[in-house]
Chains A and B, each alone.
Chain A
């Protein structure tokens, strides 16, 4: 099934203004009616939690209300509808969209992808021993360089039964397991992308069911660090990072948010195909990241000499 990945995440929130400000400050483009878009049109949609357009909530606001998957062709939509109709209620919507709940109770919809083609620059690297990527007089950075979320990367769900949840996405929707934290949860990749994961599931008690975080891909590790630095300078609270994950190799920086989950910047994720064999590792600090830093205020080695004499 040619599922590409999440095209939109729909949240029901108690503070629409705070969430709108947050997503704008994060770098998404407000395009009206609660929609905040990345460069390719993938988006987060914010609605008041009592908005009648929203599917029922699975927890107190703010919380996720719908995950919209983009699919590559109409045949995939029909295949999804046929498969899910075997054991659950499936509703068809505009443009042939398919609406159904997953095995954990999250409201899913599937529609022809709305992702737009776009081009954006790469972070070119000069590595000794390798032909230079930036020739003479090409600068790597500048003060006002733009860093914009490019595309919705992945969503992470707290689920009460991760084996059952994984089986649904693998057996019913054709996702592949790329890697797994033993006893905690699987990293899953749908057939329409090579990204290491567009979905990660985490086993939790039932009352925690919801989104743990979502993230958009930035252009590079440098862009993650710069976007996070600017976001923190606006007063937002770091939860974890910056650092670089082990599974997926992606850079990360997580922030608290008024959407009821964390919001991450990520970049430079591994790609995989069906020849990849999943790694199974125990969860923990060592296996979840190659390194971890804490941001600090800019500093410059100047000022008065230290007491007790100059160096």
Chain B
């Protein structure tokens, strides 16, 4: 089954049920540490996941606050604190560690953002999640 993607140039790997793939972007288009980018990989109409670089690699989280299940950003791609070092939910002010997704302050303290498994291959960033996963809606 081909990957439903219209990312220009994105390879479309076959879906091996044991190693599902959903492409996000060419790795070199991901912004530098301190910024984040939202993605709508299955064309749901809004950004359902977001990716950010950290010093030791890339993280991708589901755009779904554990407090009320709402989107975190206040504007397209604005998921981080002013200094770019924490993730903030701009709905009710929850603060999350950028490295782990753990909520350190706010209404869902002690809970975590869902961190999505990812694969980097041939310069492309993929989620190791099938395109029909409810995590991407």
Interface SS of B by simple majority: loop
State whether the Cβ of B54 lies closer than 8 Å to any Cβ in chain A. Answer: no
Residues of B in contact (CB 8 Å), total 20
Q: Which residues of B contact A234 (CB under 8 A)?
A: 75
CA distance A3 to B95 in the complex (A): 35
User: Which of A63, A205, A212, A258 is within 8 Å of B74, CB to CB?
Assistant: A258
CA distance A68 to B71 in the complex (A): 31
Chain A 204-240, CB-CB to B under 8 Å as 1, else 0, gives 1101101010000000000000000000001111010
Question: Is A15 a contact partner of B91 (Cβ separation < 8 A)?
Answer: no
State whether the Cβ of A60 lies closer than 8 Å to any Cβ in chain B. Answer: yes
Smallest CB gap from B67: residue in A:
A208
User: Which of B75, B81, B92, B106 is within 8 Å of A14, CB to CB?
Assistant: B81
Question: Is A256 a contact partner of B90 (Cβ separation < 8 A)?
Answer: yes
State whether the Cβ of A260 lies closer than 8 Å to any Cβ in chain B. Answer: yes
Question: Is A204 a contact partner of B90 (Cβ separation < 8 A)?
Answer: no
State whether the Cβ of B132 lies closer than 8 Å to any Cβ in chain A. Answer: no
Q: How far is the CB of B43 from chain A (nearest CB, A)?
A: 13
Q: How far is the CB of B16 from chain A (nearest CB, A)?
A: 32
Q: Which residues of A contact B75 (CB under 8 A)?
A: 22, 234-237, 256
CA distance A210 to B91 in the complex (A): 12
Smallest CB gap from B83: residue in A:
A14
State whether the Cβ of A104 lies closer than 8 Å to any Cβ in chain B. Answer: no
State whether the Cβ of B107 lies closer than 8 Å to any Cβ in chain A. Answer: yes
State whether the Cβ of A155 lies closer than 8 Å to any Cβ in chain B. Answer: no
Q: How far is the CB of B54 from chain A (nearest CB, A)?
A: 19
Known interface pairs A14-B83, A239-B70; A60-B91 also in contact (CB < 8 Å) = no
Question: Is A237 a contact partner of B83 (Cβ separation < 8 A)?
Answer: no
> Which 6 A-B pairs give the minimum distances between C-beta atoms?
A15-B82, A14-B82, A235-B76, A256-B90, A256-B74, A260-B93
